[in-house]
Structure 1
């Protein structure tokens, strides 16, 4: 089962969803201006989908009777492979039920994002590769951030 830490929004959400490149050398690849333009446009389309999904996930956590920080704390402990310490059986049951709902939301968001990515002219693999480069290459990050800022004006 996937564990979801609900926190920051934006491109970083992609890296939390396991969309990191398989090999760090990909991150240092140089991209053409056209590739960066397409990527920035794709990110601009994907971000609202991520933001809406994040709101929906937070709502599910609250409706499930948990606080966001508590949910994230349990998620981190589970993700690290341990049985969460100091968590009641009732809290663990709530966590598991909410996690299933969030997993369903995540499957839906993945489908929407894949459609947007392909509609924008990228492959999901190329998008993942460029997310990794954005996260690890300061020059790439700067170029993409500048293009995103220009799109918002």
Structure 2
């Protein structure tokens, strides 16, 4: 069994990071349960800077993961097909023994990178004076607080973040 939960966890973290921007940019998305927290402009600015740093890191990580897949001998789309099938017992994909070996080797290499990515993400957040837990609370609040979304969007447009 692959340790793909780690990969899914890493991708989930990036989805969580990127999800806050989608909510801030698209207020018509369905609202989730309200998270009521007080957020000063100074703290929101720290969040915006951390978010932008994580966004840049996410692009770098995605490029590195894609290069790892390609260097491992599979196209990204094919790797994803095999990987999704390996995660879903109801889904089958025809793959050669060679493709399965390549998938397994690529997955192991990507998993080996995860700890480094996680540390860099935490450092990026902490460098802005936030804890990871507080950052996650702010992400959750942004998903449900229209006023906070608007404040963040204005701040980022004005270059304060």
Q: TM-score surpassing 0.5? A: yes
| CA displacement at 1:55 relative to structure 2 | 0.8
The number of aligned residues is: 142
Alignment correspondent of 1:100: 108
Q: Does structure 2 retain, via aligned residues, the 8 Å contact 1:28–1:137? A: yes
Q: Aligned residue for 2:144? A: 137
Residues 76-112 of structure 1: CA deviation (Å, up to 9, x unaligned): 2233356743122221211111111111222211111
Structure 2: runs of 5+ lacking an equivalent: 18-31
Question: What is the CA-CA distance between 1:37 and the residue it aligns to?
Answer: 1.8
Runs of 4 or more above 6 Å deviation: none
Matching of residues 2-151 of structure 1 within 5 Å: 2-4=6-8, 13-15=14-16, 25=33, 28-32=35-39, 33-81=41-89, 84-134=92-142, 136-137=143-144, 139=146, 140-151=148-159
TM-score (normalised: structure 1): 0.73
The offset of 1:40, in angstroms, is 0.8
Q: Which residue pairs with 1:21 in the alignment?
A: none
**More off after superposition, 74-83 vs 99-108:** 74-83
Question: For 2:130 and 2:138, how far apart are their aligned partners in 1?
Answer: 10
Residue matched to 2:20: none
Q: Indicate the RMSD between aligned Cα atoms, in angstroms.
A: 3.3
TM-score normalised according to structure 2 size: 0.70
The superposition leaves residues 109-128 of structure 1 with CA deviations (integer Å, 9 ceiling, x where unpaired) of: 11111111111111111122
CA apart distance, 1:138: 6.1
Give unmatched runs, 5+ long, in structure 1.
Answer: 17-23
Residue by residue over 1:122-147, the C-alpha shift from the partner in whole angstroms, topping out at 9 and shown as x without a partner, is: 1111122323344x326244433333
